[in-house]
């Protein structure tokens, strides 16, 4: 067992609004080792993006606040670092790919300007060295005419190309951890296949750890080594990818797996999870999932289950599952 | 064989590219370029393809929401493009559409009752009053909503509920044919399953025929009887669902199917990774439009446009090399 590159313990990120407190991330634990991919799955509003923002130190102030927990990155607690120290880590040791490649590139700067900016700032390269490095990175991510692309603006590129540029930029400082927030959601399937293959290849070559946030279980199955399933700001299941798909335990995970039309099995009806994700301001009593859960008992309505080990390396937060054991 | 509800014959939709002071026509974007298919009563035809392949334009042109450049659409034998204004009014009651984005397709200033009732009043089927309210309630309940929702505004609903409202609006006039333009793409997986099940239930209950447009091949497989694959404005393959998914004949369909991530970590499928992006529809490649990305392309593919021919049991393919696969 290798050493963890990053360890998140009891992370709590809350937002204070006029209507009340939103517990976007409420006591989340996970760890990632170098060269491994952790998949974080969940539907909109489950707190998966806020978790990544918290690691990057990008929680929007003053409404958002990290209320508790620790984020150990190479034995340093990121939450205790000053803004100055954090800036050295962000974009250098930890970098991020966002979902929307159009809105996350600056439209008034050329691709070259945007990649070299990171290199000049963090790696202290001069302009010429940085431009050379930028072109190398673009070639690495499979862009053929790198020397032309560095002079072009984001609007001249297609969606897939922009996402490659984002990846090139994120990888230009050889980060130890790459956070990819829905990196292929806005892309077509054939382009998605290209990007996923690219990310897998780069991970092996550079030994980068990847934290992959997505709602697509297919992408998780292809990419991840370990998976964390989130619901309403909490981790409901945590297991290796083989274990999760073979032996899913939490009713929510089961529901997610069954509600996706399967290409190999023909079904007349999709099993769905009734109801909707709860309003984060008025979370239900007890287990947050109980109003949508077909196995819910009185206990689920009153008390909140803890994330406990079910078998070695497979954690579930559900009363029903632990009763079976 | 039952009569087809919809026959599309050699449908073309070109958008002119104009430039300069005099707005001279420089060329055309061939969004839909000579497509033909039929939909039988009570059946669903799925139309898949990547962004920009013309699937949405095809749907809109069939409903005469934009005027076609050439070709014919017959609804139960009646020529939709030749219908007079009065005839069109009647046809519109029969042919409806559900849009992709449930957030922008509902007027934020109208209540749900007004949104659904508008068409009923416009077509002079009901006058404002209790009968109208009863009819609107009936449709809402059919779509899994309740009477008390009638006086609420769209912002009070979640994405899944809004899509139900969109479907209710399409159903208000008792249509027999509905175009679903990516109706579940903007929804979370668990909600997607609810809406897909609803659409299937309604189809059985009301005998509807669907043209289901989507980029998600697994969703299309689940809901369709027949599936057409589009690439750059043309249909490249059209077949019964089972034939298309089990024995895809066109290299593009094969690549598309292999690109979908499978939610099973043990199944490592052999991927066909297509190189490059989709070419621009304003300047499509000569011959077979797919030849620039096709792994099997030969000289003939660059020179001649392949014929869309029947390979037996109504399996149509447009490829020169189809006999070699």
Choose between B209 and A2: higher pLDDT.
B209
Percent of chain A residues topping a pLDDT of 70: 99
Nearest residue to A203 via CA among A83, A320, A39, A11: A39
| Residue-level pLDDT at B65 | 93
* pLDDT above 60: residue A1: no
Q: Which of A43, A160, A261 sits opposite B219 (nearest CB)?
A: A261
A62 preceded by a cis bond (ω within 30 of 0): yes
Across the interface, whether the CB atoms of B50 and A188 are under 8 A apart is answered: yes
Q: Is B64 left (phi over 0), alpha (psi -120 to 50) or beta?
A: left
Separation between Cα atoms, residue A127 and residue A306, nearest integer Å: 53
Cβ distance A270 to B262 less than 8 Å, yes or no, reads no
Tell me how far apart the alpha carbons of residues B240 and A66 are, in angstroms, rounded to a whole number.
54
Angle among Cα A282, A284, A287 to the nearest 5 degrees reads 140
Interchain CB distance below 8 Å, B200 and A269: yes
Q: How far apart are CA B171 and CA B142, in angstroms?
A: 10
CB of B219 within 8 Å of any CB in chain A?
yes
> Rounded to an integer, what is the distance from CA B287 to the centroid of its chain?
26
Q: pLDDT: is A149 or A267 the higher one? A: A149
Instruction: Find out whether A137 and A171 touch, Cβ atoms under 8 Å.
Output: yes
Question: Residues of A with CB below 8 A from B262's CB?
Answer: 218, 221-222, 263-264
Nearest CA in chain A to B252: A190
Which of A141-150, A299-308, B85-94 shows the lowest per-residue confidence on average (mean pLDDT)?
A: A141-150
Q: How far is CA B189 from CA A1, A279, A311, B19, B192, in A?
A: 34, 18, 28, 43, 5
pLDDT, position B269: 67
Q: In sequence order, what are the beta bridge partners of B24?
A: B19
* Structure letter (DSSP) for residue A10: E
Phi then psi for B9, rounded to 5 degrees? -125, 120
Q: What is the DSSP pairing of strand A226-231 with strand A37-41? A: parallel
Question: B263 and A261 in contact by Cβ < 8 A?
Answer: no
Bigger pLDDT: B243 or A142? Answer: B243
What tokens does B177 get?
């044919």
Contact yes or no for A263 and B192 at CB 8 A: no
Q: In terms of pLDDT, which residue wins out, A156 or A265?
A: A156
Residue A100 or residue B303, greater confidence:
B303
**Inter-chain touch A220–B263, beta carbons under 8 Å:** yes
Is residue B195 within 8 Å of A276, Cβ to Cβ?
A: no
A158 vs B256, B271, B277: nearest CB: B277
For residues A71 and A93, give the distance between their C-alpha atoms in angstroms, rounded to a whole number.
14
Per-residue pLDDT, A325: 45
**Residue A43, min C-alpha distance to chain B (Å):** 6
Give the nearest partner residue to B263 out of A43, A245, A255, using CB atoms: A245
Q: Which of A113, A105, A212, A91 has its CA nearest to residue A162?
A: A105
pLDDT of residue A248 exceeding 70, the answer is yes
Q: Inspect the interface and report whether the beta carbons of B222 and A245 lie closer than 8 Å.
A: no
The predicted-structure confidence for A167-226, as pLDDT tens digits, reads as follows 889 888 889 999 999 888 777 888 888 888 888 888 888 889 999 999 888 899 999 999
Distance from B277 to chain A by nearest Cα, in Å? 7
For chain A, percent of residues with pLDDT exceeding 90: 51
Residue of A nearest to B49 (CA): A188
CA angle A177/A179/A184 to nearest 5° reads 135
Contact B190 A190 (CB under 8 A): no
CB distance A206 to A174 below 8 Å: yes
CA distances from B26 to B20, B232, B283, B285, B286 (A): 9, 19, 11, 17, 18
Q: Considering the entire predicted model, what is its pTM?
A: 0.84
User: What is the side-by-side strand order in the sheet with B234-240?
Assistant: B95-98, B177-181, B209-214, B44-48, B226-231, B234-240, B316-318, B308-310
Cross-chain Cβ contact A189/B217 below 8 Å: yes
With 80 as the cut, is the pLDDT of residue A120 above it?
yes
**Could you tell me the CA-to-CA distances from A292 to A295, A322, B195 in Å, in that order?**
9, 19, 16
Please name the member of A161, A272, A276 whose beta carbon is closest to the beta carbon of B193.
A272
| Helices of type H across chain B | 55-62, 85-94, 112-122, 130-142, 159-171, 189-206, 217-223, 241-246, 251-259, 299-303
Q: Which residue in chain B has the smallest CA separation from A43?
A: B188
Give the residue, B275 or A36, on which the prediction is more confident: A36
Backbone angles phi, psi at B244, to 5 degrees: -65, -40
Say yes or no for a CB contact (<8 Å) between B262 and A197: no
pLDDT of residue B325: 64
Tell me which of A164, A260, A273 to substitute to probe the interface with B (most B C-beta atoms closer than 10 Å).
A260
Among the partner-chain residues A158, A190, A242, the one whose CB lies closest to the CB of B265 is A242
A78 vs B264, which has greater pLDDT?
A78
Nearest chain B CA: its distance from A221 CA (Å): 5
CA distance B233 to B241: 21
Low-confidence residues of chain B: pLDDT under 50: none
């Amino acid at each position: 067992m290798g050493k963890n590159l990053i360890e998140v313990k009891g992370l709590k990120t809350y937002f204070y609004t006029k209507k009340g407190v939103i517990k976007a991330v409420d006591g989340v634990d996970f760890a990632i080792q170098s060269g491994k991919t952790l998949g974080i799955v969940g539907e909109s509003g489950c707190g998966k993006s806020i978790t990544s923002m918290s690691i990057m130190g990008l929680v929007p102030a003053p409404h958002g606040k990290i209320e508790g927990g620790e984020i150990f990155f190479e034995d340093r607690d990121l939450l205790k670092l000053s803004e100055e120290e954090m800036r050295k880590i962000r974009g250098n040791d930890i970098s991020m790919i966002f979902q929307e490649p159009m809105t996350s590139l600056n439209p008034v700067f050329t691709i070259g300007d945007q990649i070299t900016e990171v290199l000049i700032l963090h790696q202290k390269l001069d302009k010429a060295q940085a431009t050379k490095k930028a072109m190398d990175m673009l070639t690495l991510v499979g862009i053929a005419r790198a020397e032309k692309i560095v002079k072009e603006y984001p609007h001249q590129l297609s969606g897939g190309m922009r996402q490659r540029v984002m990846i090139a930029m994120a990888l230009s400082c050889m980060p130890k951890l790459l956070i990819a927030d829905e990196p292929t959601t806005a892309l077509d399937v054939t382009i998605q296949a290209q990007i996923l293959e690219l990310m897998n290849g780069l991970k092996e070559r550079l030994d980068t750890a990847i934290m992959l946030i997505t709602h697509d279980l297919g992408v998780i199955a292809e990419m991840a080594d370990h998976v964390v399933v989130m619901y309403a700001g909490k981790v409901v299941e945590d297991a290796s990818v083989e274990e999760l798909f073979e032996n899913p335990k939490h009713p929510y995970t089961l529901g997610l797996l069954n509600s996706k039309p399967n290409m190999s099995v023909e079904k007349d009806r999709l099993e769905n999870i009734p109801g909707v994700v709860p309003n984060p301001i008025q979370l239900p009593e007890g287990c947050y999932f109980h109003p949508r859960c077909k196995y819910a008992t009185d206990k689920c309505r009153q008390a909140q289950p803890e994330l406990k080990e079910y078998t070695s390396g497979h954690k579930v937060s559900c009363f029903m599952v632990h009763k079976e054991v | 064989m039952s009569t087809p509800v919809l026959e599309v014959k050699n449908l073309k939709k070109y958008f002119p590219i104009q430039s300069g002071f005099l707005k001279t026509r420089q060329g055309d974007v061939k969004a839909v370029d000579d497509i033909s298919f039929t939909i039988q009563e009570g059946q669903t035809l799925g139309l898949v393809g990547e962004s920009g392949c013309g699937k949405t334009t095809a749907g809109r042109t069939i409903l005469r929401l934009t005027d076609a450049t050439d070709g014919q659409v017959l609804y139960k034998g009646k020529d939709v493009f030749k219908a007079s204004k009065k005839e069109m009014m009647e046809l519109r009651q029969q042919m409806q559409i559900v849009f992709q984005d449930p957030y922008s397709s509902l007027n934020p200033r109208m209540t749900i009752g007004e949104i659904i009732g508008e068409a009923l009043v416009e077509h002079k089927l009901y006058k404002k009053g209790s009968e109208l309210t009863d009819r609107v309630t009936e449709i809402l309940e059919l779509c899994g909503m309740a009477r008390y929702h009638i006086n609420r505004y769209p912002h009070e609903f979640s994405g899944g509920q809004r899509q139900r409202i969109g479907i209710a609006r399409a159903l208000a006039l008792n249509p027999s044919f509905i175009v679903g333009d990516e109706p579940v793409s903007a929804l979370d997986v668990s909600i997607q399953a609810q809406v897909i099940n609803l659409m299937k239930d309604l189809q059985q209950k009301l005998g509807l025929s669907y043209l289901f447009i989507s980029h998600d091949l697994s969703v299309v497989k689940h809901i369709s009887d027949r599936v057409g694959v589009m690439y750059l404005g043309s249909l490249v393959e059209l077949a019964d669902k089972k034939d298309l998914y089990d024995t895809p004949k066109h290299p593009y369909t094969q690549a598309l199917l292999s690109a979908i991530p499978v939610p099973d970590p043990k199944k490592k499928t052999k991927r066909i990774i297509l190189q490059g992006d989709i070419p621009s529809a304003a300047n499509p490649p000569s011959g077979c439009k797919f030849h620039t990305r096709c792994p099997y392309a030969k000289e003939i593919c660059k020179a001649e446009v392949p014929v869309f021919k029947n390979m037996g049991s109504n399996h149509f393919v447009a490829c020169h090399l189809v006999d070699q696969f």
